[in-house]
Amino acid sequence: MPKNRPRCHCGGDMKRNGTTSNGTTRWRCKACGASSVKRRDDLANAAVFAQFIDHCTTSTSLRAMAQRHGISLATMKRRFSWCWLVDVPDPTIGHTGRVYDQIFIDGTYTAGGCLIVAATLDHVIAWHWCKQETTQDYKRLLERIEAPL
């Protein structure tokens, strides 16, 4: 039996039973007759997260993005609700004690404030959120990085 064939909640084998109006294959259990479709939540969540990143990194409003995708503003907010809970990994883990020859420091303004980033040519070393770029905020950013020799 193919590995991608779904199993019913009763444990019975399922067979193809036509398609839905969207073209998705419908499956029916041979034992109990229950009908279902296979869902790929990972692909759906990846698409929603890509839209969320697009919203966060561009000047596109949430209302304009909802109109572009043909859904209401409330639906777009509901789809994005879990995206705000994704933990951003701390880049300093695994790089403590490392001294860098050269780092680049820059601030990027977003609707929520300013993100100050310290990076090398190939990866981010540390970042700090602030309202605006100040000397004190740059000090907070740099105190997380080892001083040069």
Spatial contact of 29 and 10, defined as CB atoms under 8 Å apart: yes
The reported pTM is: 0.53
| pLDDT at residue number 2 | 59
Each of the 149 residues of the chain gets a pLDDT tens digit; together they read 556 778 888 988 899 999 988 888 899 999 999 998 888 878 888 999 999 988 887 888 899 999 999 999 999 999 999 998 887 777 777 777 788 888 999 999 987 789 999 998 888 888 988 999 999 999 999 988 888 77
Measured at the alpha carbon of residue 26, what is the angle toward residues 40 and 5, in degrees to the nearest 5?
A: 65
What's the start-to-end Cα distance of the chain, in Å? Answer: 63
Strand order in the sheet with 104-110: 104-110, 113-119, 124-130
Q: How many residues does the structure list for the chain?
A: 149
Measured at the alpha carbon of residue 46, what is the angle toward residues 40 and 51, in degrees to the nearest 5?
A: 135
| pLDDT at residue number 41 | 79
